[in-house]
Amino acid sequence: MKKQEYAIVDIETTGGNASGSRITEIAIIIHDGTQIIDRWESLVNPQKDIPLPIFALTGINNEMVQNAPIFDDISEKVLEMLTDRIFVAHNVNFDYSFVRHQLEQAGFKWTAKKLCTVRATRKIRPGLSSYSLGNLCNTLDIPVNGRHRAGGDADATAILFSRLLVWDEEGEMTKMIKKTAQDQRLPPNLPPADFEQLPEKPGVYYFYNEVKKVIYVGKAINIKKRVASHFSGHKITPQRQNFLRDIHSISYEVCGTELMALLLECSEIKNLWPAYNRALKRFEAKFGLYQYEARNGYKYLAIGKLNKFQACTEVFNSEFDAINLLRNLTEQFDIDYRFCKYSKPEEGEFIQKKDLSELPDVDSHNERIKNAIDFLIKGRPSFGIIDKGRTPEERSCIWVENGHFYGMGYITTDITITEPSEIKDYVTQYRSSNYIMQLISSYAAKYPGKVFSNTSKKVK
């Protein structure tokens, strides 16, 4: 039987993502598991300018690659050297994505089993301060001739690989090479233990960058399966590659139900505003209905953009909806139009002197404003949702007060709730939003048997 061979690869590129950047240099070393049996390297004309920061890092400039072959011209050679061999590289997904993408553009469909020497070294020599190639070379006394050049880095990686083969008494690399090994698909800076400890339960997970800042929050019915899906596939967009490189650790919080996970995800995104969360941000309300009292004693109603430092009575996704509601209130409660503003007022603002003729009585006017606000608030429902918990010994609970999400939490099964408002004592408070209330209202309509309110009293 033919001995398993390895293609140890290093590339230099014009940038950090395969879809928008190109290879400028490539080196491939063939290793038979015992020794190096072949070696090849070449500069590559990327057919685009090499940015100055890349030149500063690699020393490769436009003049050096001007007469070099384009990738199409060397694609058959590259494919020949990679075929039926395990693709080995330091931070393998970076090199693999570029080579696969450019082979595909040259007309070749190619895939291979992969081995990452970053991950292999983490497993075989744990506890080192850094696993970057440069630092490993210093720590392990690996000679480097031409750092940040494809040939020099490939040679260093080949020495590292040879040593790993000797040190690997537990057969870690054989396990990693298996196609089904999840560890091979993990981001390069993520410790495998962070992924392995994830539960297969509903909840919320958090991705952190190098300085422990949350960069992404997600929810899942199955946390482990959902997290794994972030790392599968062959997408090579700049955003995805930057995202994967930024993930240095993961934490999670188990939730009793998918709805609890959804609400926690929304709340955490609003609270933490992670860099890579974009989808939920577009659902944020933008306008609010404010009430305030001017120095002349008259109360006003005003529409304005939301300000997180000022409380408002109602929030809206659009200014149009806000204005319509205010107009309806003025008609229903006979409020003088001069006390309704359609842009957020400055503090202390009051009616100009020219508008002071035939003003309503202050007390009767303010009573109308109060009645309008009371109508809005009292017209909103207060109710709870009681559902399954994280364990058989508890139940999850959500409380909505006057049409706004109040909070959520968990109650042990030995506690009896007789009045809906008692749920408030067992929840952690969170900020409400239109989107959160849409989620809760839809769930309550779909599962009325889980709703607990004064009118329904645990609807069957």
354 band by pLDDT with thresholds 50, 70 and 90: very low
Number of CB atoms found within 10 A of residue 360's CB: 15
277 band by pLDDT with thresholds 50, 70 and 90: confident
Question: Span 225-244, mean pLDDT?
Answer: 79
Please state, in angstroms and rounded to a whole number, the distance separating the CA atoms of residues 90 and 87.
10
Q: Which of left, alpha, beta for 175 (phi over 0: left; psi -120 to 50: alpha)?
A: alpha
Percent of the chain with pLDDT over 90: 56
Say if residue 458's pLDDT is above 70: no
**Ranked by mean pLDDT, which of 80-94, 300-314, 373-387, 428-442 comes out on top?**
80-94
CB 234 within 8 A of CB 97: yes
Q: What's the pLDDT score for residue 214?
A: 95
Q: What's the pLDDT score for residue 295?
A: 87
Tell me the pLDDT tens digit for each residue of 34-56: 999 999 999 999 999 999 999 99
Say if residue 351's pLDDT is above 50: no
Predicted TM-score (pTM) of this structure = 0.57
Please report how many Cα atoms fall inside a 13 Å half-sphere around the Cα of residue 254, on the Cβ side: 12
CB 312 within 8 A of CB 290: yes
Question: Span 401-415, mean pLDDT?
Answer: 91
Q: What's the pLDDT score for residue 259?
A: 95
Tell me the pLDDT tens digit for each residue of 148-199: 899 999 999 999 999 999 999 999 998 888 754 555 578 888 888 899 899 9
Question: Span 115-138, mean pLDDT?
Answer: 92
Q: What is the mean pLDDT of the chain?
A: 87
Say if residue 18's pLDDT is above 90: no
CB 87 within 8 A of CB 7: yes
First-to-final CA distance of the chain: 68
Q: What's the pLDDT score for residue 312?
A: 79
Q: What's the pLDDT score for residue 201?
A: 93
Q: Give rounded-to-5 percent helix, strand, coil for the chain.
A: 40, 20, 40
Say if residue 31's pLDDT is above 90: yes
Percent of the chain with pLDDT over 70: 91
CB 97 within 8 A of CB 114: no
Say if residue 261's pLDDT is above 50: yes
Instruction: Name the more confident of 403 and 43.
Output: 43
Q: For residue 40, what are the β-bridge partners?
A: 28
Question: Span 228-242, mean pLDDT?
Answer: 75
The DSSP symbol for 353 reads G
Question: Span 442-447, mean pLDDT?
Answer: 91
Question: Span 408-431, mean pLDDT?
Answer: 92
Say whether 428 sits in a helix, a strand or coil.
strand
8 band by pLDDT with thresholds 50, 70 and 90: very high
Ranges of each domain in the chain: 6-185, 192-281, 287-378, 383-452
Q: What's the pLDDT score for residue 233?
A: 65
398 band by pLDDT with thresholds 50, 70 and 90: very high
- Specify the amino acid at residue 256: G
Does domain 6-185 fall under CATH 3.30.420.10? My reply is yes
Say whether 63 sits in a helix, a strand or coil.
helix
Question: Span 95-116, mean pLDDT?
Answer: 90
> Computed from CA positions of residues 10, 3, 167, 183, in that sequence, does the dihedral angle turn out positive or negative?
positive
Mean pLDDT lowest among 45-59, 290-304, 348-362, 372-386? 348-362
Say if residue 342's pLDDT is above 80: no
Say if residue 208's pLDDT is above 90: yes
What is 156-170 written as a DSSP string? HHHHHHHHHHHH-TT
Please state, in angstroms and rounded to a whole number, the distance separating the CA atoms of residues 151 and 12.
10
The DSSP symbol for 303 reads E
The DSSP symbol for 45 reads B
Q: What's the pLDDT score for residue 345?
A: 47
Tokens of 203: 């909840």
Q: Which CATH superfamily is domain 192-281 in?
A: GIY-YIG endonuclease (3.40.1440.10)
Please report how many Cα atoms fall inside a 13 Å half-sphere around the Cα of residue 351, on the Cβ side: 20
Please state, in angstroms and rounded to a whole number, the distance separating the CA atoms of residues 256 and 200.
12
Element (H, E) at 404: strand 404-412
